[in-house]
A and B are shown apart, each in its own frame.
Chain A
Amino acid sequence: MAVIAVYSSLLQFGLADRLASLYPDPYNVMEMQARVIPVLDAVPPAEPIGYFSDVPFSVSAGRASFLAAQHAFAPRILLKEDSPSAKRAKFWLGVFQKQENFAEIGAKRGLEMERDLGGYVVFYRRQEAAR
């Protein structure tokens, strides 16, 4: 029994160690946090932020990028594009899968591109708010 218990703990430790070295940040949470730091001060803490993405929310990656952005922007609330309260958002975040004309995509939504945060993450401001 003792031998099996020790074997089991060594096995579990090995698994945990491998997990930590191979996938330290599988959902890019810390990466997202680092990306949004330059624009955090531009948004007052009580101000909600709109969110849109070309990654569908029905897949895990879509949910993960939204929640990672919510974690990074907290205590500001992130509102999905289709949420009724998203209309009041002056600031927006776009998360994309590939390089595109981010300014044009934003303009179609009445948003002005404020800053490309890298990694296909873009910070926008509603056009009337920008003016």
Chain B
Amino acid sequence: MNILSWLVAGVAGWFWVDALLPHLSAPAWIRRSLAASLAMVFGVGATASLFFALLWAGARPPVAAWTSDTLVLASGIVTWLVLRRRQPAQLPPEPSRPVPLAWLGGIAAVVSLAGFLAAVAVVLNASPQGDWDAWSIWNVRAKFLAHEGLWRNAVSPDLSESRPGYPLLWSAAVARVWSQSGAIAQSAPQTGAFLMSLALVLIFASALAVRGGWHWAALGAATLLMSTPVWRTAIRQYADVPLTAMILASVVSAALAQRASWSPASLTLSGAFASMAAFTKHEGLAFCIFLAITVAAVSRLRALWWLAGAAPALLLTVAFHLFLAPEARILRPEHLRDAGRFWSVAQGMASELWQLGDFPAHPLLFAALLLFVFRPARPWQPFWLWIPGVLLLLADFVFLWGAPGDASELTRTVGDRLWLHVLPVFLLCIYWRLAQAEPSPATVPSLPEEKSAPKPRSAAKR
């Protein structure tokens, strides 16, 4: 039942995602993989948010759980039926840059993914309780939500050591599964952690495959899986993995919206993902605000579609902070005047950046090497996709600088996770740029399309 509940959420999310994503000119397996991974994240986020809203409205946990599933599924089917009748926004095909010896990248990606999933399964099986934050914050608060009449304990000031001010999406996602199964079993958060880890890698790889084909997806996935925080955080059952998946999903949807002439449906989807991130962790709320500002700056009035998608979960998040979350002092102004703390955080974040991989297998080192080899023009383009992630890192830095407690210890504890939140987005931006074929400047004006079209197989043999 625990596994089934997660999958039901994924099915409910599929109708929404399939209705709102623009039509991709990519092979069917790439489209299905992208839709399925986005649907998993969307379904879990939507059902969990609605489950919590219904609890707050007074529903019993099992009623809230089944009602939230039914509502998300039914509204998804209606949206799918209505929107699929129209001509969906089309994404024009883009030629991709060939990759020499691409099959080697394919083998590396398959081995890395198999190793990653096996490691997650082995650790989840051996340590069902997860690591510190999993059992002391997310799962313990899920127990309150799943118990009839006691959900307010999850935001009680008496729960000061379990962060009662943190948003509740991930705890609500676990509690929803427990409420449906009727038993509090550790397999629920374990399955959720496994599926979210898989969804994160699949969103990354399939979004890359949409633009660059399987060979760039394989290279990108192998690079992402060199990142130690991806491995460490996935096996710990932390909410940072779903948060990272939501952040990545919102950026992918926004980028696809831009390519489809600012498709309103895809913008709506991006807003929904970003708002789910806002209800998962404080960093998600900061990211949601930064992405909203960026989308408003580049898409102008069409950003209203983005806001429409973000509105439901964002309103819930704002209401949560205004009416439920106990007051917490997250910044001490006197700490922001302390230059010593500034350097501690700077050194700590730099150290965590270096430790994103075990040298020489460092994801950013590999990305830099590929940039050097392929030398794409204007590698930072599209620049706007980088902005929310960069702003989030800056906000994280300010938070660590001004937070109560020892700055070095805090940075050492959470630094790798803060990098994790933005790393897939940064890697995706780099690989999208790398994957894009560039005609030589001399032939640009009259280059026929078929001459710049990809020939991955022959290129791979070269």
Contact = CB atoms under 8 A, between A and B. Distances in A.
Interface residues of B, number: 51
Contacts of A46: 149-150
A46 B161 CA distance: 19
Interface stretch (A14-22, A100-108, A121-129): A14-22
Given A19-B123, A24-B127, A77-B159, A13 B115 contact: yes
A4 interface: yes
A74 B128 CA distance: 17
Nearest to B111: A6
Nearest to A84: B158
A66 B135 CA distance: 12
A85 to B, nearest CB: 6
Given A1-B105, A21-B126, A75 B116 contact: no
A67 B123 contact: no
B377 to A, nearest CB: 23
B318 interface: no
Chain A interface SS verdict (over half): helix
B196 interface: no
Contacts of B140: 67, 70-71, 74
A24 B130 CA distance: 9
Contacts of B122: 16-17, 20
Interface stretch (B85-93, B219-227, B242-250): B219-227
A67 B132 CA distance: 9
Contacts of A79: 158
Interface in B146-192: 146-147, 149-150, 153, 156, 158-159, 161-162
B105 A8 contact: no
Interface stretch (B269-277, B332-340, B358-366, B419-427): B358-366
A12 B161 contact: no
A2 B150 contact: no
A74 B129 CA distance: 14
A79 B161 CA distance: 10
Contacts of A1: 104-105, 108, 219, 222, 366, 369
B119 interface: yes
Contacts of B116: 9, 12-13
Given A9-B225, A13-B115, A70-B161, A2 B108 contact: yes
A75 B222 contact: no
Given A16-B122, A24-B127, A70-B162, A8 B112 contact: yes
Interface in A44-67: 45-46, 48, 63-64, 66-67
A52 B461 CA distance: 69
Given A74-B144, A77-B156, A83-B158, A5 B223 contact: yes
A2 B120 CA distance: 22
Contact of B123 (A20, A66, A71): A20
B107 interface: yes
A100 to B, nearest CB: 25
B127 A63 contact: no
Contacts of B235: 16, 19-20
Nearest to B119: A16
B112 A27 contact: no
B143 interface: yes
A13 B108 contact: no
B119 A17 contact: yes
B126 A45 contact: no
Contacts of A12: 115-116, 119, 225, 228, 231, 358
A25 B129 contact: yes
Contact of A45 (B150, B158, B159): B150
A29 interface: yes
B123 A5 contact: no
Interface in A67-83: 67-68, 70-71, 74-75, 77, 79, 83
A29 B135 contact: yes
A130 interface: no
B358 A8 contact: yes
Contacts of B68: none
A4 B231 contact: no
Interface of B: 101, 104-105, 107-109, 111-112, 115-116, 118-120, 122-123, 125-129, 132, 135-136, 139-140, 143-144, 146-147, 149-150, 153, 156, 158-159, 161-162, 219, 222-223, 225-226, 228, 231, 235, 357-358, 360-361, 366, 369
Interface of A: 1-13, 15-17, 19-21, 23-25, 27, 29-30, 33, 45-46, 48, 63-64, 66-68, 70-71, 74-75, 77, 79, 83, 85
Q: 8 nearest interchain CB pairs?
A: A8-B361, A20-B126, A16-B119, A74-B143, A2-B108, A75-B147, A9-B115, A2-B104
Given A4-B361, A19-B235, 16 more contacts: A2-B104, A4-B226, A5-B109, A5-B222, A5-B225, A8-B112, A8-B225, A8-B358, A13-B115, A20-B235, A24-B126, A25-B127, A64-B132, A71-B135, A71-B143, A77-B153
6 contacts: A13-B115, A45-B147, A67-B136, A70-B162, A77-B158, A79-B158
